[in-house]
Amino acid sequence: MTVHTDSRIIAAPLDEVFALVADVERYPDFLPLWREAEIVRRWDGGYETQQVIGLGPIRERFNTHTVLLPPSRIEVTSDDRLFRTFFIRWDFAVVPRGCRTGIALQWEVGSPRLQRAISFLLPGVARSMVDAFERRAGRGGPLQVV
C-alpha cells in the first residue's frame, strides 16, 4: 500500500492554515472530489464527520474521525466499511515565508475496481488537495477556528 505525499509553503500564518484544513464542513465549497461534509459529533480535540466524495457519477458516503493536534498536526482516519485503510495526516510548521503544509494520504478500499481507480488518482488527489487549500488561503479574510 502506497502513501502519497505533497508539501509546500503556503503564504499564510500557521494558525489560519490549520483552521482552514480543520474546517471540514467547507470542503465541498472548494476541494476536488468532496461533495458533502457534515460534523455529526464533536469532542474535546476532534470530531466525527459524515462525508461524500464523488467522481463523475460515482458517489461514496463514509464517516471519518478527526483528531486536532494544534498547531502542528491533524489526523483523519476511518473505520468505515468502504475502506480497508483510510488515513490522512496534515503537518504544519512555521517557516519564514508562511506555513509549510504537508499531507500524507493513504486510502485502500475493498472493491478491486474502485481501488484501481483510486490508485491511479491518489497521487494527483494529494497534490490537488494542497493546491486547493493554498488557493483558499490566498483568498484572505478571517478564517474560523474549529
Q: What is the pLDDT of residue 81?
A: 87
Nearest-angstrom CA–CA distance, 30 and 110: 28
Which CATH number does 4-138 carry? 3.30.530.20
User: pTM (2 decimals)?
Assistant: 0.85
The three cell numbers locating residue 72: 502542528
Per residue in 86-145, pLDDT (tens digit) is 899 999 999 998 999 999 988 887 777 777 776 776 667 777 888 888 888 876 443 333
What pLDDT was estimated at residue 145?
A: 32
Residues 92, 93, 94: CA angle, nearest 5 degrees? 135
Domain boundaries, the chain: 4-138
Segment 4-30 mean pLDDT: 93
pLDDT of residue 142: 38
What's the DSSP call for residue 25?
G
pLDDT computed for residue 20 by the predictor:
94
Q: Per residue in 43-60, pLDDT tens?
A: 999 999 999 988 788 888
Say if residues 49 and 26 touch (Cβ distance below 8 Å): no
8-24: average pLDDT: 94
Q: What is the identity of the amino acid at 54?
A: G
pLDDT of residue 61: 93
Task: Report which of residues 1 and 38 the model is more confident about.
Answer: 38
CB 50 within 8 A of CB 40: yes
| Cell digits of residue 137 | 488561503
Cα separation values, 131 from 7, 32, 62, Å? 10, 10, 23
Average pLDDT value for residue range 66-78: 97
Q: At a CB cut-off of 8 Å and minimum separation 6, what does 95 contact?
A: 9
Q: Give the range with max mean pLDDT: 11-15, 29-33, 117-121, 122-126.
A: 11-15
